[in-house]
Structure 1
């Protein structure tokens, strides 16, 4: 017994962990990043004001650099180098996020603040017929009708074509034909809008056609199809192959498997992709200038006569150069943003409604 106790007592005591290398070492409070941000903002404003810089962008960049530096140094002193590198990476992600969001938030705030001054029921229900550019009256009704019709026609044409093309590429496409289709879809994705407008304009000149909303919709269709194809293709690739194999194992034909299993599973992403394509074409101006020609009157017939649209209306009012026209341009921009946001909300509702049920 004495020998055993002696051997236990003679064992060397393990050395304590080195400070800064143990997972149980000191840690900063959870709200420390907020404190670092507050200190960085105060120092950035102070340094910018002391240096005589009047640009708030410069103040913000100084504050961002100080935030990264303070976060790394404080974490290194209190915790360890490993945690400092982790906090530096996290802080860098937050700084990049804010740098990307600030211009968008500023643009949205400016559009809402400037556009809401002129936006009312009268503005939405009247056209510019007989209204001079310097007058404060007039509205956007004719342009709103034109945008709805042109975007609607382009969507009716593009959505089925893009969906069927994506289904072919994912489910059936093999060999040189599929590679050629993929190549041309990639090329069409980068086509400038003015090129699409010139292509339809050349057809109009050859066939002797007049400007109309349909011509503008055809140019928008060229811009919309590759976006729908690419987004739908990616969504279909995300559908697990096990679902296809289970359906085919039950003896269900492939076309019915695609219709009843694959498409309902990916309907949410497909709807979102279509909305992104609509958001892109809704703000195009160059094809509308070439093909629709613009009009101050209400023309509900997209197949005959000149029409207007919201992007063309904004360009037209800004070109006038009067205070009243600037107000109408900002109000029309706000209407265009609201139009895209409403479509996005509708698409999300449809996607949620049509999404496959996950309950037991």
Structure 2
């Protein structure tokens, strides 16, 4: 029996070592590609980084310039998308977590939200094109912001529902025991308890839409000039990167690398901040 037990134990150790080795190898393989991509991005992106990137507009072919108009356009559309999508997402998530947790309608809403959460952004862009751009007869920053807002909504809905569901029911019962209406209980107790998680979801939604290109090609298109007119084609950093990266002009390609670096740094900063909020909440 002892020899059999030792043989079984040795076999298990070998299988464990093999599985552990494969897992480590897969991790190194994945991280290696990530480090390689980030390294290439840093080398090419930093080479074109200068003050003119933030102060000059996108240049014509063969000329030097910057990304100021594209950066401002992206910021405007992103902020407007968050303003549109965040209240809708929070209210929908609140309904799912507080009012209709076990309703049939809630199950339908969750199913639709999951579809939106995984829907290709180009499909969302095509939908907004059909319902906004085509009837209006022209591309616009408003259409781009609405397309990004549609991407924001399911992310905020999911995080809001999950964070509110983690709030202990004892807090709700305590509020009900003193006669506090459900609406006040949600605003004064549930929202405060889930505040860090909800803010984290909003930040993750911003990170999600920061690099979206496909929906903006169908809605905001692009603009080579400085434009604050939301009812006209609007410049955006992802679209400029897409167009400049495919161009044969070296100056445009450098700006494309620099723009990609800026977006990557922004998304990384938002992700780190969201992680810090999550860790603070757990403590």
Question: What does residue 96 of structure 1 align with?
Answer: 26
CA–CA separation in structure 1 for the residues paired with 2:273 and 2:60: 37
Determine whether 1:211 maps to 2:139.
yes
Assess, with a 3 A threshold, how the Cα gap between structure 1 residues 205 and 108 changes in structure 2: closer, same or farther: closer
Q: Is 1:212–1:292's contact at 8 Å kept on the other side of the alignment?
A: yes
Structure 1 position 176, deviation (Å): 3.1
Partner of 1:124: 54
Corresponding residue of 2:86:
159
The alpha carbon displacement at 1:346 in A equals 4.7
- Report how many residues are paired: 281
Q: Deviations over 1:148-187 (max 9, x none)?
A: 0111111111111111101101111143322222222122
The one of the two structures with greater contact order (alpha-carbon pairs below 8 A, sep at least 6) is 2
Task: Provide, for residues 177-220 of structure 1, a one-character-per-residue CA deviation record: whole Å limited to 9, x for no partner.
Answer: 22222222122223222222222222335543532211101011
In structure 2, the gaps of 5 or more residues are: none
Corresponding residue to 1:296 among 200, 224, 239:
224
Distance 1:271 1:88, change over 3 A: farther
In 1, Cα distance between equivalents of 2:25 and 2:15: 15
SS of structure 1 residue aligned to 2:62 = coil
**When the two structures are superposed, what TM-score results if normalisation uses the length of structure 1?**
0.70
Does structure 1 residue 261 correspond to structure 2 residue 189?
A: yes
Gap regions ≥5 residues in structure 1: 1-16, 23-75
RMSD (CA atoms)? 2.7
Match of 2:72 among 137, 141, 145: 145
- The aligned counterpart of 1:177 is 105
Larger Rg computed on CA atoms:
1
The alignment status of 1:317 with 2:247, answered yes or no, reads no
Report the counterpart of residue 130 of structure 2 in structure 1: 202
Alignment-derived partner of residue 225 in structure 1: 153
Q: Contact 1:271–1:351 (CA<8 Å) still a contact in 2?
A: no
Question: In structure 2, what is the Cα distance between the partners aligned to 1:244 and 1:20?
Answer: 57
1:295 to partner: Cα distance: 0.9
Structure 1 distance, partners of 2:254, 2:245, is 9
Q: Give 1:320 shift.
A: 1.7
Quick check: 1:268–1:352 contact (8 Å CA) kept in 2?
no
